[in-house]
A = this chain, B = another copy of it.
Amino acid sequence: MQVSFTPAEIIALVQPSQTRGATEATIRGIGALSTAGAGEISFLGNAKYRAEVGACRASIILLPPDFEGEPQPGQLYLLVEQPSVALARICARIEQQLWPRPAPGIHPTAVIDASATVDPAATVGPLCIVEAGAIIGAGSHLQAQVFVGRNARVGANCWLMPSVVVGTECILADRVRLHPGVVVGSDGFGYEFVQGRHEKVPQVGIVEIGDDVEIGANSTLDRARFSRTVVGEGTKIDNLVQVAHNVIIGRHCILCAQVGISGSTTLEDYVVLGGQAGVAGHLTLGRGVKSGGAAAITSSVAAGTFVNGAPARAYMLERRLQVLFGRLPELFKRVAELEAQIKLSSA
């Protein structure tokens, strides 16, 4: 990453309430307290690392306002309300350098059907395909090798990264971000078993994705059998996640990597699922349900519940059961001793 900030530029970005010390170093990188060196910026994001600040060799350190202690020579402390928010502001500036906004227009190698509508303020990169009747909104960016199928609609200011596939008739709202290899609109997995063979149940619904949704690399979202598979506004989905047909995901949910949601299940708003969690079909997870990683959720869960385990149980119960599970050797021994004593006493 080609980063280059003067201390004055950093100060202008993070607006510290106080500064201590001074440095003339150009900042060329960001590092954790324990690893950052001269020419880098670091930050105290979590109070438990407070003791590491003194030995940190970064040229600039972002610290909370109540931090006590003095910088080393040639080191600059910047006291800010929230060091991690301040760091995010610096990172956002770097982000603009890494992925500068592309100029609008259609790359000559893109294949655009004559009946597709690409907004003049959209960017369609090299080797993209936009099929008949599809619509690409203003400010949206199809980066490279993207496929948008017949009559699909991509809203405004979306970013579809290399190798993304958006299937026929599917709908993306505004500011949707799809990482490389995401597939939106593959067929739902539905068959009828007829005379020893699995006959395909046609999957003729769509996938509809709300505003500000972000979906991680190589995740897959199946179109509905009929009607819609839905991902609600503001929901964030990590890599390699599977969303089956007719799933309804609410607003502002978090699905960590490798989660799988089976068909026709509903997640209400603010659900959070840990990595590799799986949810069976035709269930409802109420508002704010949380699961641990690798949880196997086999029945509906009431709003606000935190579950864990396989099969998933209420978090504190599962935790207690796991402790007792670890004590099984002891329990078997105790029962054997009881049996010996009973035998003795009845002898």
Contact = CB atoms under 8 A, between A and B. Distances in A.
A206 interface: yes
Given A126-B111, A257-B242, A296-B293, A310 B313 contact: no
Given A217-B186, A252-B197, A345-B346, A168 B331 contact: no
A328 interface: yes
A216 to B, nearest CB: 6
A169 interface: yes
Given A95-B204, A144-B147, A218-B218, A342 B331 contact: no
Contacts of A222: 216-217, 239
Interface residues of A, number: 111
Contact of A127 (B84, B111, B242, B328): B111
Interface of A: 1-2, 29-32, 35, 84-85, 87-88, 91-92, 94-95, 98-99, 107, 109, 111, 126-127, 129, 144-145, 147, 149-151, 161-163, 165, 167-169, 179-181, 183, 186-187, 189, 191-192, 196-206, 212, 214, 216-218, 220, 222, 225-227, 234, 236, 238-240, 242, 244, 252, 254, 256-258, 260, 262, 275-276, 278, 280, 293-294, 296, 298, 310-311, 313, 317, 320-322, 324-329, 331-332, 334-335, 338-339, 341-342, 345-346
Given A1-B205, A91-B203, A342-B342, 12 more contacts: A1-B226, A31-B226, A147-B163, A161-B165, A161-B186, A163-B181, A191-B236, A200-B214, A335-B338, A338-B342, A345-B345, A345-B346
